Amino acid sequence: MKKVLILNRRAPYGTTVAAEALDLALLSNAFEHEISLVFLDDGVFQLKREQTQPLLTQRNISLTYTGLAEFGIEKIYVEKTSLAARGLTVADLLIPVKLLSSQALGQLLATQDILLNF
Amino acid sequence: MNFVLLIKAGHAHAAAMSAYHFARAAIQKNHIIQQVFFYQDGVYLANNLATPAQDDIAVSQCWTQLAEKYQIPLLVCVAAAAKRGVLDQETATYYDKSVTNVEQPFVLVGLGQFAAALANADRVISFDGVC
């Protein structure tokens, strides 16, 4: 089985990209690949707390992130400067994550078999 | 080398055509295209009602010819396709629709078929829309 890393770079709503990346993560996990999720750029907003239903234009996907650990997806990384640039800290996030510098992110990417960019 | 290609953008982007050129070049160098998987807006390539202008490149037709010549599976995510109105006979019946617009060699399958193919892939190449 492969080490599959999914890069999430887009805001959670406005497009279906985040939702379709999540579907792919869950399916690949079901096929016993080792899944890592990285959130960077506007992708860090996907993990923001308090994504409240009435304000959304699409299905609220935030519950899926809180359920990831149940499926054994626990390698979840957030790129540090993306988070800070958007005025966020780990306290603003839905789930526990590992913070990575861009340099550490580069090292992580180098250890993977497959990178999928969303 | 054994390649899996992932196409994630539709007619508004060059992704599917770039992937086609990549596949042809890879085959010429004796590599194997194990699977082409159409996901997100890439599923629109399977819509046989799409009608390019006469002087335009018919992307889906290019893929059909290549797939038939070299027996390349063209697999389309059924969930992504259904929500975009890309339906084969089975999904049309299931959702009670009167029209179908997918034909061979494009085949609607579960996303799991892509996940399964990753196990044997030497390389997975993703073709995206840029916006």
Sign of the alpha-carbon torsion through B54, B55, B59, B62:
positive
Give the end-to-end CA distance of chain B in Å, rounded to a whole number.
31
Chain B contact present for A73, CB below 8 A: no
Q: A50-83: per-residue pLDDT in tens?
A: 888 767 778 889 989 999 999 999 999 999 999 9
Active site residues of B: 77
pLDDT in tens, chain B (131 residues): 999 999 999 998 999 999 999 999 999 999 999 999 999 999 999 999 999 999 999 999 999 999 999 999 999 999 999 999 999 999 999 999 999 999 999 999 999 999 999 999 999 999 998 75
Contacts of B80 in chain A (CB under 8 A): 20
CA proximity to A34, closest of A7, A5, A8: A5
CB A115 within 8 A of CB A77: no
Contacts of A33 in chain B (CB under 8 A): 115, 118-119
- The reported pTM is 0.91
Name residue B119's amino acid: A
